[in-house]
A and B are shown apart, each in its own frame.
Chain A
Amino acid sequence: DTAVSQTPKYLVTQMGNDKSIKCEQNLGHDTMYWYKQDSKKFLKIMFSYNNKELIINETVPNRFSPKSPDKAHLNLHINSLELGDSAVYFCASSQDSGVGNSPLHFGNGTRLTVT
């Protein structure tokens, strides 16, 4: 069974569209994250949720809106997509409360291409 699964794997869309990426973890972890990896491979945290509560919200445009219906799911909705949003988005989870003490388990990533 996949521990952290995200869908879709690939997403190609035009500028201005709205899209969503879904993530689910079956590890029983309390904290989930969204990371963005750009073309230079830098991994930057976007959001983290602990037990459905937002605990980290980095400097991310408000076109990005995370939603956590329960602690096993964390979805990412992006409005009015821009060319610069093209990247690989990784969902991850950890056992701790998001303070950086526990290893992260990553999903396989969603490669978003905005044309």
Chain B
Amino acid sequence: GQQVMQIPQYQHVQEGEDFTTYCNSSTTLSNIQWYKQRPGGHPVFLIQLVKSGEVKKQKRLTFQFGEAKKNSSLHITATQTTDVGTYFCAGGFQKLVFGTGTRLLVSP
């Protein structure tokens, strides 16, 4: 079946450092979505990318969809303690399949 993998599984950074999580699908996707789940919370939708090679920014967050529409990345510039949480990508292909998640810990 369709699989969506994310790396790294876990990352611990100092506040101010950059962070990137990568998402790879076994199949070509119709779209990729990104979610953030704070500790003890529920996943919250961040953004959706649809076009091949698309890049979108939200303040310090940059999202990219690969040319082949099989991979994506989320980059956070100058992390803050409020960025702590687990980041999930979710690939759309007849249904939405969530990636394995990257847990981000930010130390002040």
Contact = CB atoms under 8 A, between A and B. Distances in A.
Contact of A99 (B86, B91, B95): B95
Nearest to B43: A106
Nearest to B50: A101
A14 B88 CA distance: 32
Given A42-B100, A56-B95, A101 B30 contact: yes
A66 interface: no
Contacts of A90: 42-43
A101 B92 contact: yes
A101 B48 CA distance: 9
Interface string B78-96: 0000000010101111111
Give the contact-size bracket for chain A.
20 to 34
Interface string A92-105: 00100011110111
Contacts of B35: 104
Given A41-B86, A42-B100, A43-B101, A99 B92 contact: yes
B93 A100 contact: yes
A25 interface: no
29 contacts: A35-B98, A41-B86, A41-B101, A42-B98, A43-B88, A43-B98, A43-B101, A44-B98, A45-B97, A45-B98, A48-B95, A90-B42, A90-B43, A100-B30, A100-B31, A100-B91, A100-B94, A100-B97, A101-B31, A103-B33, A103-B45, A103-B48, A104-B33, A104-B43, A104-B90, A105-B45, A106-B42, A106-B44, A108-B42
Interface of B: 30-31, 33, 35, 37, 41-45, 48, 86, 88, 90-98, 100-101, 103
